[in-house]
Chain A
Amino acid sequence: MNNSDSMSVAERVEKNLAKRYRAEKRFRIFGMISVSIGIIALIGLFTQIISNGAGAFFQTYVKLDITFDADELGISDPTDPDQLMIGNYDGIVRDALRERFPSVTKRREKRDLYSLVSIGASYRLQSDLRQNPQLLGTTQTLWVLADDDVDVYFKSREDEPFIGRLNDLQVEWIESLAKSNELKTKFNTIFFTSGDSAEPEQAGILGALLGSLLTLLVTLLLSFPIGVAAAIYLEEYAKSNKFTDFIEVNINNLAAVPSVIFGLLGLAIFLNFFNMPRSIPLVGGFVLTLMTLPTIIISSRAAIKAVPPSIRQAALGMGASKMQMILHHVLPLALPGMLTGAIIGMAQALGETAPLLMIGMVAFIVELPGSVADPATVLPVQIFLWADSPERAFTERTSAAIMVLLAFLITMNTFAIWLRKKLERRW
């Protein structure tokens, strides 16, 4: 080059240097902006969910003097389960309410009064009496579950009271109970210990949590071994020809298929052909296995590819068989990467509702599932069902359920990271 007469290389670099520094700085700022947008969105989401859902962890209770009157209950022998089942527990709750507000006499007003206490109070009295038959005939001062309308009003009473469906008289009663400290909020254990309910104050997340757990267990037990075995075969044994190319293209395509398609497939195969029952976690797990398999296969293959060929050659050179080489060397080194793939797949499966809709897991189920063959629903479905319910008290429970889902996800991921760290080997 002989244009050096105008400028030397050093001069040209010097001239561009400031510009290059500026470009570098801009580039870095773009990155920082992207990260902060992400963080702001995350903080916004979390504060929204937490501020909406915090109320759900507390539940309002009413203090009542309840007389376990044998005649009113219609129970003569408190050890007879049949009598216990049909006892008139509503009756004794109503008596207690009337006693607390003796001025209420009109039919319509009485009805309004009774609606302050949840039906859950009756179920609770029933179980109290079952556990402790001596209660019959005694009067107990008990904190019983308040109705959801009372709950929402009482919690919002401090700043902007939400009246909703309550009438003036009911508000007056609640105020009078509140003033004499006969209303209080307690930690909402029901939310963590029971299944779904049509009444918000009795609705719990445990049913859905167990459902998710059982479904994911089935999914993990099926998809991880199958996915890893498929990946090993494709990477280590399969010859590269048109057929394996075809399989590879199809696996990659399957990863992008909308999840509801897997639901339709599940409906056709598992329900209609194999005649499996609707709404059970076993079938849910099968369907989600189909969905997560491509993700696991793809990431496992990537992990196997990342194991240096020198390790394989060394193993073979020392006289290991191909199976020994894979099991003793490739697999342990690839395992952390495979686990990452499995976790991505599981996290995806945890959040799915669409494929489960088809096989009947989008359902109202009160009983807690005890095995993979009991009807169950899963966490995101529970969130969806609550978000869709008209009762105001379900709004905060929806947010609380989202928190439980996030907590579940974080626990799952933490466990996976711990496992990965433990298994990781350096070479």
Chain B
Amino acid sequence: MKKLLLGLSFSAAIATSFTHAAGRDSISIVGSSTVFPFSKVVAERFGKTTNFKSPTVESTGTGGGFKEFCKGLGVNHPDISNASRRIKQSELDMCKANGVADVIEVLIGYDGIVLANSVKAKQVKLSRKDIFLALAKKVPNPDGSKTLVDNPYKTWKDVNPSLPASKIEVLGPPTTSGTRDAFVELAMEGGCKKVDWIGALKDSDKGRFKEICHILREDGAFIEAGENDNLIVQKLDANPNALGIFGFSFLDQNADKVQASSIDGSDPTFDTIADGSYPVSRPLYFYVKKGHMEVIPGIKEYLAEFTSEKAWGDEGYLTDKGMIPLAKEKRNQIAKNVKDAVVLKSL
């Protein structure tokens, strides 16, 4: 019995030592898998060039990151959350409700989403409207009336006579992916708006507008190929007729296997994404708890490293990893805000 009591008190001691857990001396980062590679590089360089430990970076997805991030203040909760979209009002409210009142928002750059096929086939020139018509579950009636029909298109030529007569076959990420969200929002919605009467719905009936624009077809033309972008690249290599959806950095690294389709007349390159002429690109952010800056060592220095020219500048090491930098004035502005720890007031 004595031994049992001893054991119990020992395990209780372990448990309480963690409740105090003043021990965390490294930054904890969670969030988007798109920002993950960029966050990794900064974390590593930061750890190797300062006396602080390298931050721990988790790839939880944007939504999952905010969930952990907004759970509360204290060393058991992450300090920074990466995001491949802006924080939502509901997430900000959740943060506030849990005592995470002061959050610093940092816009870091852009990422392009590309549609690509194997280099063994010809490059495809698409418009956002083509993408919408080819991939939406319901499309406007081809006879011109303001009704919707189940997507009847089988080949790209059916969608637009100038496109090749190959079967519509697009590999893309599943609904849990931020890339999918951004693709739907930017490419599908962008093309959807081009149909006048649906575009008009955006103001009058937002729910219906989203229902039309955001739902991808489920009859086999769009194939959910998993979160792994490398896998999509491999599948494209094996099947020259298929197109795939993935992030720009994977295009950059696999230029020998896949080529990007141009969208609305613009090829995805560093420059077209940075100046906004390539339409399917999205901003990347991270969010910092101001309340942690005094508690966890190194947060200020990490932010300084991330917002330094050698990291996120036009020729910084983040661009080597495929991040598209912001304009110079914007960078200076944000770097200054970060330095002064300006808190996000409202969206």
- Identify the A interface with B (CB < 8 A): 85-86, 111, 115, 119, 123, 162-165, 197-199, 271, 274-279, 360, 362-367, 373, 375, 385, 387-392, 395
B253 touches A392 (CB 8 A): yes
B18 touches A277 (CB 8 A): yes
Query: CA A276 – CA B21 in complex, angstroms?
Result: 8
Smallest CB–CB gap between B78 and chain A, Å? 7
Residues A363 and B230 in contact in the complex (CB < 8 Å), given A164-B256, A275-B18, A390-B252 = no
Query: CA A229 – CA B54 in complex, angstroms?
Result: 42
B76 touches A363 (CB 8 A): no
B254 touches A363 (CB 8 A): no
Q: Which of A363, A366, A388 contacts B47 (CB 8 A)?
A: A366
Q: Which of B26, B33, B53, B321 contacts A198 (CB 8 A)?
A: B321
Query: CA A119 – CA B48 in complex, angstroms?
Result: 11
Q: Within 8 Å CB of B19, what residues of A?
A: 274-275
Query: CA A375 – CA B57 in complex, angstroms?
Result: 10
Q: Within 8 Å CB of B253, what residues of A?
A: 164-165, 390-392
B15 touches A198 (CB 8 A): no
Residues A367 and B54 in contact in the complex (CB < 8 Å), given A274-B19, A277-B23 = yes
A364 touches B23 (CB 8 A): no
Smallest CB–CB gap between A177 and chain B, Å? 20
Report the nearest B residue to A108, measured CB to CB: B315
Q: Report the stretch among B37-45, B137-145, B156-164, B190-198 that lies at the interface.
A: B37-45
Is residue B58 contacting chain A, with contact meaning CB distance below 8 A?
yes
Q: Within 8 Å CB of B76, what residues of A?
A: 271, 275-278
A197 touches B59 (CB 8 A): no
Smallest CB–CB gap between A154 and chain B, Å? 16
B18 touches A365 (CB 8 A): no
Query: CA A164 – CA B24 in complex, angstroms?
Result: 40
Smallest CB–CB gap between A124 and chain B, Å? 11
Name the residue among A86, A111, A363, A391 with the largest chain B CB count within 10 angstroms: A363
Give 19 CB contacts A-B under 8 Å.
A85-B51, A111-B315, A198-B40, A199-B41, A276-B21, A277-B21, A278-B78, A279-B28, A364-B36, A364-B40, A364-B57, A365-B56, A366-B54, A367-B53, A373-B23, A390-B229, A390-B230, A390-B249, A390-B252
Q: Which of A111, A162, A375 contacts B56 (CB 8 A)?
A: A375
Residues A389 and B37 in contact in the complex (CB < 8 Å), given A119-B45, A364-B43, A366-B44 = yes
Name the residue among B15, B56, B229, B252 with the largest chain A CB count within 10 angstroms: B56
> In the complex, which range does the number of interface residues on chain B fall in?
35 or more
Q: Within 8 Å CB of A391, what residues of B?
A: 253
Interface of B is mostly: mixed
B21 touches A279 (CB 8 A): no
B54 touches A365 (CB 8 A): yes
Query: CA A392 – CA B40 in complex, angstroms?
Result: 17
Is residue B166 contacting chain A, with contact meaning CB distance below 8 A?
no
B255 touches A165 (CB 8 A): yes
Query: CA A218 – CA B232 in complex, angstroms?
Result: 38
Interface of A is mostly: loop
B37 touches A375 (CB 8 A): no
A85 touches B50 (CB 8 A): yes
A274 touches B56 (CB 8 A): no
Query: CA A165 – CA B248 in complex, angstroms?
Result: 13
Query: CA A115 – CA B317 in complex, angstroms?
Result: 10
Query: CA A375 – CA B249 in complex, angstroms?
Result: 28
* Smallest CB-CB A-B distances: 9 pairs: A366-B54, A198-B40, A364-B57, A198-B41, A363-B58, A276-B18, A390-B253, A375-B56, A364-B40
Which residues of chain B in 63-121 are interfacial with respect to chain A, using CB atoms and an 8 Å cutoff?
Answer: 75-76, 78
Is residue B176 contacting chain A, with contact meaning CB distance below 8 A?
no
Name the residue among B49, B247, B250 with the largest chain A CB count within 10 angstroms: B49
Encoded as 1 (CB less than 8 Å from any A CB) or 0, chain B from 236 to 252 comes to 00000000000101101
Smallest CB–CB gap between B33 and chain A, Å? 8
Query: CA A365 – CA B44 in complex, angstroms?
Result: 9
A277 touches B45 (CB 8 A): no
Q: Which of B49, B75, B317, B321 contacts A85 (CB 8 A)?
A: B49
Is residue B322 contacting chain A, with contact meaning CB distance below 8 A?
yes
Report the nearest A residue to B228, measured CB to CB: A388
Q: Within 8 Å CB of A390, what residues of B?
A: 37, 229-230, 247, 249-250, 252-254, 322
Which residues of chain B in 288-343 are interfacial with respect to chain A, using CB atoms and an 8 Å cutoff?
Answer: 315, 317, 320-322
Smallest CB–CB gap between B21 and chain A, Å? 6
Smallest CB–CB gap between B255 and chain A, Å? 7
A277 touches B53 (CB 8 A): no
Smallest CB–CB gap between A71 and chain B, Å? 20
Q: Within 8 Å CB of A123, what residues of B?
A: 48
Report the nearest A residue to B229, measured CB to CB: A390
B56 touches A279 (CB 8 A): yes
Query: CA A365 – CA B40 in complex, angstroms?
Result: 9
Q: Within 8 Å CB of A395, what residues of B?
A: 230
Q: Within 8 Å CB of B56, what residues of A?
A: 278-279, 360, 363-365, 375
Query: CA A350 – CA B228 in complex, angstroms?
Result: 22
Smallest CB–CB gap between A273 and chain B, Å? 9
Q: Within 8 Å CB of A363, what residues of B?
A: 56-59
Q: Within 8 Å CB of A164, what residues of B?
A: 253-256
Q: Within 8 Å CB of B37, what residues of A?
A: 198, 389-390
Report the nearest A residue to B310, measured CB to CB: A90
Q: Which of A274, A278, A362, A387 contacts B230 (CB 8 A)?
A: A387
Residues A274 and B45 in contact in the complex (CB < 8 Å), given A364-B40, A365-B54 = no
Smallest CB–CB gap between B45 and chain A, Å? 7
B256 touches A367 (CB 8 A): no
Query: CA A392 – CA B237 in complex, angstroms?
Result: 15
Smallest CB–CB gap between A233 and chain B, Å? 15
Report the nearest A residue to B322, measured CB to CB: A390
Q: Within 8 Å CB of B18, what residues of A?
A: 274-277
Q: Within 8 Å CB of B59, what residues of A?
A: 362-364, 385, 388
Report the nearest A residue to B26, measured CB to CB: A375
Query: CA A252 – CA B47 in complex, angstroms?
Result: 46
Smallest CB–CB gap between A202 and chain B, Å? 8
Smallest CB–CB gap between B319 and chain A, Å? 10
Query: CA A387 – CA B228 in complex, angstroms?
Result: 8
Besides the known contacts A119-B317, A274-B19, 17 further A-B residue pairs in the complex with CB atoms under 8 A apart: A163-B256, A164-B253, A165-B255, A198-B321, A271-B76, A275-B21, A276-B15, A276-B18, A277-B75, A278-B28, A360-B56, A366-B47, A373-B23, A375-B28, A388-B227, A388-B229, A390-B249
A198 touches B28 (CB 8 A): no
A366 touches B43 (CB 8 A): yes
Smallest CB–CB gap between B8 and chain A, Å? 14
